[in-house]
Amino acid sequence: MFQKLVLDCVKTIQAGGLKNFVRVLGSTARDRAFDRKYGVYTSCMEKPRFSEKDLNAQESVTLHAATRAAPFLKMWKAFGLIPRGRFVDFGSGRGRALMLANSLGFEELRGLELDENLIGICHKNLSKFKLEKKYDILKMDFNKYIPEASDQVFYFYDPCEYGFLKKTAENIIEKCPKDGVERHVIYHNNLYEQTPFDSLEGYERLNKIHIEGNQFFLYRITDGLE
Ligand SMILES: C[S@@+](CC[C@H](N)C(=O)[O-])C[C@H]1O[C@@H](n2cnc3c(N)ncnc32)[C@H](O)[C@@H]1O
């Protein structure tokens, strides 16, 4: 875990420079205030643990860290999206992104998560946060998720390695309802210039933004639109 953490730090510095790395650390430190304000515990870096039968997913998993609150909210404003339908967090961890999405005005929220311990902590956090929206957390490998008609935003905060994410992106395109509804993917990763969504048909990159050292990509799912 310590080795992985150091490696992540080195990669972040290589990708965006020392100044950028310090800005990410700053936004992480400010998030302690988010936890204090709502009486929750989300600011934690840890290695997720999946059961034996999910070895494939376990091998590709990255460290758990929570989406930084202020950058996420600023990103949403900058992208100018309208919160409609259900927000789905692919790897919902301790629930930080779900809490933030709650305040944006989505009708529904869904988390997909494989680590049972994190699911338990997430439920506790969400009850303390007094989430107003209807929500559920599904214990499953998000690689096997079948998108539903009401899903409209698919959010990823760097949950796994490139290859595994690409499979998940392919699965979404294959299984997403072809009903003419506009759907978006938001991918948050501070390291890459190109993401698996760039290499697949069915996704159109609309935007990329840097906020306090945090990098967010916005895609529109074009497959299934008129
Ligand atoms: C970087 S954390 C992000 C947590 C949360 N989305 C947030 O922004 O606060 C990524 C999460 O994805 C989960 N995850 C990784 N691979 C997964 C998979 N194949 N299926 C379900 N959850 C997965 C991890 O357990 C971890 O909790």
Q: Is the pLDDT of residue 1 over 70?
A: no
- Confidence category of residue 147, pLDDT binned at 50, 70, 90: very high
| Model pLDDT for residues 49-98, shown as the tens digit of each residue | 999 999 999 999 999 999 999 999 999 999 999 999 999 999 999 999 99
The residues near 25 (Cβ < 8 Å, ≥ 6 apart) are none
Classify domain 1-226 at the CATH topology level: Rossmann fold (3.40.50)
- Percent of the chain with pLDDT strictly greater than 90: 77
Higher pLDDT, 104 or 8: 104
Number of H helices, E strands in the chain: 6, 7
H-helix or E-strand spanning residue 206: strand 203-211
Is any atom of ligand 1 closer than 6 Å to the C-beta of 71?
Answer: no
CA 90 to ligand 1 centroid distance, Å: 6
pLDDT at 167: 98
- Residue spans per domain, the chain: 1-226
Per-residue b/e over 55-88, b at no fewer than 16 CB within 10 Å? eebbebbbebbbbbbbbbbbbbeeeebebbbbbb
Which of 53, 54, 64, 98, when mutated, tests ligand 1's pocket best, judged by the most ligand atoms within 8 Å of its CB? 64
Neighbouring C-beta atoms of residue 95, cutoff 10 Å: 30
- Are the C-beta atoms of residues 67 and 91 closer than 8 Å to each other? no
| Model pLDDT for residues 9-44, shown as the tens digit of each residue | 777 777 767 777 777 777 777 888 899 999 999 988
pLDDT at 28: 78
Q: Of ligand 1's atoms, which has the minimum distance to the CA of residue 54?
A: 19
- Confidence category of residue 117, pLDDT binned at 50, 70, 90: very high
| Model pLDDT for residues 179-220, shown as the tens digit of each residue | 999 999 999 998 889 999 999 999 999 999 999 889 999 999
